[in-house]
């Protein structure tokens, strides 16, 4: 097996099937897989197959691809039966928002009553 390219993000390696993920949906332009550390009953990440650093870069460069990401997020919510009960789509963008992987991704959260969000609080498993 060839050495991993250090400029590649984790998500490019998941898209390339170089590392495993629990994939729930794939389109020609997007991939959706379950978050390895779920923060809700449903916690799925949706990524465009083309890499942009964050949602602002994606929106500026390719708005149609951003629409594809949102459409896949809605499809994932539908597959998990969340459309009636409701769900949340989050794009963490930059340091204060806690973005850790710099390949834009939508978090799709739902399947239970979600908490409020905004100001910093420790994750339950860290406290």
Phi, psi of 43 (to 5 degrees): -145, 100
Query: Which of 9/84 has CB closer to ligand AMP?
Result: 9
Which of 43, 103, 105, 107 is catalytic? The answer is 105
Ranked by CB distance to ligand AMP, the top (closest) residue is 92
DSSP helix, strand, coil percent of the chain (3-state; round to 5): 25, 20, 55
SS3 of 13, please?
A: helix
- E strand intervals along 35-94: 42-48, 87-90
The reply on whether position 101 binds ligand AMP by CB under 6 A is: yes
Q: Which is nearer to ligand AMP, 50 or 99 (CB)?
A: 99
- Strand residue runs (E) in the chain: 23-26, 30-34, 42-48, 87-90, 106-110
Among 56, 86, 94, 98, binds ligand AMP (CB under 6 A): 98
Give yes or no for residue 99 binding ligand AMP (CB under 6 A): yes
Beta strand 30-34 with 42-48 is antiparallel
Measured from the CB atom, the residue of 8 and 35 that comes closer to ligand AMP is 35
Q: Does 10 bind ligand AMP (CB under 6 A)?
A: yes
- Residue 37 found at the interface with ligand AMP (CB under 6 A): yes
Q: Which residues bind ligand AMP (CB under 6 A)?
A: 10, 21, 33, 35-37, 45, 92, 98-101
Catalytic residues: 105
């Amino acid at each position: 097996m060839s050495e991993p390219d250090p400029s590649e993000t984790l998500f490019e390696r998941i898209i390339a099937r170089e590392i495993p993920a629990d994939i729930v949906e794939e389109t020609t332009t997007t991939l959706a897989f379950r978050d390895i550390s779920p923060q809700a009953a449903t916690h799925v990440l949706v990524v465009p197959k083309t890499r942009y650093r964050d949602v602002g870069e994606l929106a500026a460069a390719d708005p149609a691809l951003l629409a594809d990401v949102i459409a896949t997020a809605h499809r994932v919510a539908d597959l998990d039966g969340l459309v009636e009960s409701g769900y949340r789509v989050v794009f963490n963008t930059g340091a204060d928002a806690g973005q850790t992987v710099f390949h834009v991704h939508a978090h799709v959260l739902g399947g239970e009553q979600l908490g409020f969000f905004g100001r910093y609080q420790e994750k339950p498993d860290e406290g």
